[in-house]
Amino acid sequence: MSFMETLPAFRRLGDLAHLRPTVIIDTREQEPLPISRLPVVRGTLTSGDYSFTGGTELLSVERKSLPDLVACVVGENRERFERELHRLRGFRFKRLLIVGSREAILGGEYRSNVKPASILHSLDTWEVRFDVPVVFCETPETAGHQVESWCYWFARELVSNANTLLRANKQERST
């Protein structure tokens, strides 16, 4: 199996090593990304489209297809979307995940009169203004794997930190 097919176990992480994160897909997400390496549930998220159980206040991924993104660049949709990006500022880990490529935007591979430069300048502005990194994944499959990886590695870091605290607590009690 390749890396894209499996995720490593939470080895050497002590008491919580048996845990695996469950990806939450927001109920408003119309076309969910294919998630195959971690368990999945549908749920209502306060911000974004993807998170994981136990981490909904810490990690949020907002997904946009190219048509969705183009619609967010102009008019009322822009104001609504910027409010969403503003809410993401409070998350420890946040991403704006674009399913498509920068090259597709530059090539005008979307149905709109919006100029490619306007879309790319909006992305750059949002990344700076709202401190939300923009990541491109060309296919829904690649995007799904990326969401799984972010959820997995973020959860793994939380488990590692929790086990460090548990070990320190046990040592403190035994002295």
The pLDDT tens digits of the residues spanning 141-164 come to 999 999 999 999 999 898 888 777
Q: How far apart are CA 122 and CA 119, in angstroms?
A: 5
The pTM of the full predicted model, rounded to 2 decimals, is 0.86
Q: How far apart are CA 98 and CA 102, in angstroms?
A: 9
pLDDT in tens, 71-85: 999 888 999 999 999
Query: Is residue 106's pLDDT more than 70?
Result: yes
Q: pLDDT higher for 81 or 8?
A: 81
**Residue 90: per-residue pLDDT:** 94
Q: How far apart are the first and last CA of the chain?
A: 46
- Which architecture, in CATH terms, is 14-159? 3-Layer(aba) Sandwich (3.40)
Q: Give percent helix, percent strand, percent coil of the chain, each to the nearest 5.
A: 45, 15, 40
Q: How far apart are CA 66 and CA 68, in angstroms?
A: 5
Q: How far apart are CA 52 and CA 55, in angstroms?
A: 5
Q: How far apart are CA 23 and CA 172, in angstroms?
A: 35
**Residue 167: per-residue pLDDT:** 75
Query: Is residue 54's pLDDT more than 50?
Result: yes
Tokens (6 digits) for 148 = 């799984």
pLDDT band, very low/low/confident/very high, at 95 (cuts 50, 70, 90): very high
The vertex-75 CA angle with 125 and 27, nearest 5°, equals: 85
Taking alpha carbons only, the member of 37, 41, 47 closest to residue 85 is 47
